[in-house]
């Protein structure tokens, strides 16, 4: 029995080692690439080189990476905060004020998930132009501030909340906003963290919409800069790798910092 167990274990580990190699390898190449020149990267050099400071210098002086990073952080930060606020309140409404109308509205809201962004892009662009919001970060924030998926995600976890607590709070005379912020939201922390990570990733990685709305170099976000760097006739791979590492860092930091809450939040929504 014991022998059989260790054989199983051996294969499990083997598979896991192979799988982890495949998932870690791109990161490893990315990080060594950051320290090499374009020619070395093309030759398949996988060890650390000496070009790190040069790549950083080019990125920050010629392409103003600091400003680009700031733009991305600004847009993403505002989007995440607004998105959490609006979506959680919307989901709260859908759960706590149940009626035929809200249910139909909810179904209608869900239906909009079926419309691909490509179909919305041109009318949305026209609206943004009419509002004189072209080339502004506000246009990115305001369109990213609601996500039907996040409303859905919040609602799925909110339905497990005992309605009696809300009723008790109402009896004690708490207003609806007070109930939401003081009683309801703190006990749903896990869900909020999970939604925040999702909203962060969506906004941080968004590419098509910033491309259409932003018009000048000083407004561009990290995705646009990386795309631009890679399309040169002779791409500077070292600089591109450096830009990719720098723009991946915030996602990695946020994920590891809130990993525990993230897993909790996802589990919470499955329980329903």
Q: Which stretch binds another protein (CB under 8 A): 157-165, 193-201, 224-232, 261-269?
A: 224-232
Binding flag, residue 46, another protein (CB under 8 A): no
Calpha distance 141→267 (Å, rounded): 29
113: which 2 tokens? 């998930």
Among 16, 66, 121, 249, binds another protein (CB under 8 A): 121
Phi, psi of 226 (to 5 degrees): -65, -40
Least distance from another protein to the Cβ atom of residue 60, Å: 15
Least distance from another protein to the Cβ atom of residue 193, Å: 33
Q: Within 13 Å of residue 157, how many CA atoms lie on the same side as its CB?
A: 25
The span from the first CA to the last CA of the chain, in angstroms, equals 38
Binding flag, residue 104, another protein (CB under 8 A): yes
Binding flag, residue 122, another protein (CB under 8 A): yes
Binding flag, residue 169, another protein (CB under 8 A): no
User: Following DSSP, what letter does each residue of 44-85 receive, concatenated?
Assistant: T--S--S-HHHHHHHHHHHS-HHHHHHHHHHHHHHHHHHHHH
Among 211, 249, 253, 272, binds another protein (CB under 8 A): 211
Least distance from another protein to the Cβ atom of residue 234, Å: 7
158: which 2 tokens? 């909110």
Calpha distance 201→254 (Å, rounded): 10
Among 6, 11, 99, 107, binds another protein (CB under 8 A): 99
Among 11, 22, 177, 233, binds another protein (CB under 8 A): 233
Least distance from another protein to the Cβ atom of residue 240, Å: 12
69: which 2 tokens? 């990073």
Question: In terms of residues, how long is the chain?
Answer: 272
Residue that is written with structure tokens 């609806």 in the block: 176
**# binding residues, another protein (CB under 8 A):** 30
Residue 7 to residues 16, 18, 164: CA-CA distances in angstroms?
Answer: 14, 17, 52
Binding flag, residue 126, another protein (CB under 8 A): yes
Calpha distance 218→211 (Å, rounded): 13
Calpha distance 223→63 (Å, rounded): 13
Least distance from another protein to the Cβ atom of residue 170, Å: 23
Among 110, 212, 251, 266, binds another protein (CB under 8 A): 212
Among 29, 52, 60, 228, binds another protein (CB under 8 A): 228
Among 224, 240, 243, 246, binds another protein (CB under 8 A): 224
Among 107, 171, 234, 270, binds another protein (CB under 8 A): 234
**Closest CB to another protein among 53 and 130?**
130
User: For residue 272, which of 151, 153, 187, 157 has the smallest C-alpha distance?
Assistant: 157
Binding site for another protein (CB under 8 A): 42, 62, 99-101, 104-105, 108, 121-123, 125-126, 129, 134, 208, 211-212, 215-217, 224, 227-234
């Amino acid at each position: 029995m014991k022998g059989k167990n260790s054989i199983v274990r051996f294969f499990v580990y083997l598979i896991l080692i192979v799988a982890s190699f495949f998932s870690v390898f791109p990161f490893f190449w990315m990080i060594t690439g950051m320290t090499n020149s374009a020619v070395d990267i093309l030759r398949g050099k996988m060890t650390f080189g000496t070009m790190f400071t040069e790549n950083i210098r080019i990125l920050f002086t010629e392409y103003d990476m600091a400003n680009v990073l700031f733009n991305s952080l600004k847009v993403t930060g505002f989007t995440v905060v607004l998105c959490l606020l609006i979506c959680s309140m919307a989901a709260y409404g859908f759960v706590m004020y149940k009626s035929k109308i809200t249910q139909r509205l909810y179904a209608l809201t869900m239906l909009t998930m079926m419309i691909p962004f490509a179909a919305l892009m041109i009318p949305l662009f026209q609206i943004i132009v009419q509002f004189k919001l072209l080339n502004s970060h506000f246009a990115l924030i305001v369109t990213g501030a609601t996500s039907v998926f996040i409303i859905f995600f919040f609602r799925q976890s909110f339905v497990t909340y005992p309605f009696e607590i809300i009723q008790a709070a109402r009896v004690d005379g708490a207003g609806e906003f007070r109930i939401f912020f003081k009683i309801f939201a703190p006990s749903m922390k896990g869900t909020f963290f999970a939604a925040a990570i999702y909203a962060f990733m969506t906004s941080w990685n968004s590419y098509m919409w910033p491309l259409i709305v932003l018009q000048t170099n000083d407004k561009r976000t990290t995705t646009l800069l990386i795309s631009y760097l890679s399309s040169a006739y002779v791409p500077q791979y070292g600089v591109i790798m450096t830009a990719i590492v720098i723009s991946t860092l915030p996602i990695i930091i946020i994920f590891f910092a809130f990993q525990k809450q993230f897993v909790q939040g996802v589990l919470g929504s499955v329980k329903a």
